[in-house]
Structure 1
Amino acid sequence: MESNKDQLNQFFTEKNTVKNIQSNDFINTGEYLDIIRAFARITYKSIYIIDYQKKAFEYVSDNPLFLCGLKPEQVKELGYGFYFRNVKSEDLDLLVQINEIGFDFYEQIPLDDRKLYTISYDFHLINEKGKPILINHKLTPMFLNEEGKIWKAMCIVALSNNQNAGNISINRHGSDIFWSFSLEIRKWNSEQKAKLSERELEMLRLYARGLTINEIAEKMFLSADTVKFHRRKLFEKVNVQNITEALAFATNNKLI
């Protein structure tokens, strides 16, 4: 049986182990956790902060989705042990792979750009009732050390709009390009982000308000059949099955 140290070492290699933190680095962090706590109060998503120097969680918000029936203090105390307690075994192997390929990608990014990148992927959490829930997990750097390694990172957890674990991608803030990773051929591929028309965006905003197809048709000066046609084309464009998934996609990608 693996020890806690052996389990932890699956997630930490030389590439993402931070050893040297200068005094100026600590000064630069200031009271940043106060900002994180304020953000956590106004979002429905779960937030936690990873400290790669301490190999631990520095902060965990009280949103119940990520907690799986535990209190924030308990999850913080467990740190990476939380994954071994509350992630499906097959998805644990996936997380180890993502950790490896993510930091391989990160090492190729110019130092000045590293804070602009976010990695996103899906995996199952086992909730307090023992049921698996597919969540989307995004991680982005907050503070780097002088070598450009991630010292502290923010993680955002929300319900996934996909059907299966994986769906690994990296986005650069302000870019129309993103990179997706194929686990089958173990390769990153660059792709163009989906661009929605103003009509498609308007339709999604109206759906988000809870309007029916007939109400949307009336507001858009279209027939109900035309709204259904545009909705079907939208589903094909962003590769989703229903309007709930489409709204989740649009929200997660900051389209509406």
Structure 2
Amino acid sequence: MKKTLLMITGTLLCVSCTTNPPQQKPVLPEEPANNRPVVPVTFVFTTNHLAATPFDNLAQMRKEVSILNKYYLDDQGNKIFNFKLNRYISYQDFSKLHCELDNEINQPRPISIGAIPASVNVCFPKRTARKEVIIFIYDAYSKNLEFDDVTSRTFRNNGKPFILLDWHRLNYNIQAGSIHEMGHAFGLKHVCAPNATKTTPTNIMASAECKLGSGGLRNLGFAPSQLQTILSSYKQYS
């Protein structure tokens, strides 16, 4: 299973393998779902891989938003945000933008992490909604696994976060890919899950990077301290 790297403006963060002391649980607004904090999500399909093409459609993007709303929860099963589909840009439309980003991802070589934020900001200089998170669906590549790699990455990008999500991880596939990355988008680091196997229930942000076990299923909601970070990051984003 591939590691997921957390990036802030192209700078790699250290993985957290410590457990914070219990903190008072942040209080989520007791309001109808449509009054929860809103996170607009834009999907940009950047790969024309033949096997990925069936997912390049509006119905799939709506499904991905539903997945975020279903599984992005605190440890009591409460929903945190109201994720809404903001935009969907198909591969056909993305290719017409002639962005440098197109030359930096989906290529048979490892991507240059430091160059990605600048390319994204040039390609998408203005956000179309407050608190918007852009998810670029791409085809990850590594020297060992080539295009079988499924590594996904998150960049907080000075309060304008975006995610590179490998297309294999759509449909809540492979360790809750989009949910885990959205945790990074709102400031969370990896946590350790000692002795976990691939079938062990673990926190959404669990990772094998600690060398203490697998990241597991990543199916347990965010702990109180994580929730506090998520809500704090949300308030800071423009």
- TM-score (norm. length: structure 1): 0.28
- TM-score (norm. length: structure 2): 0.29
Report which structure shows greater RCO (CA 8 Å, sep ≥6).
Answer: 2
Per residue, is there more strand in 1 or in 2?
A: 1
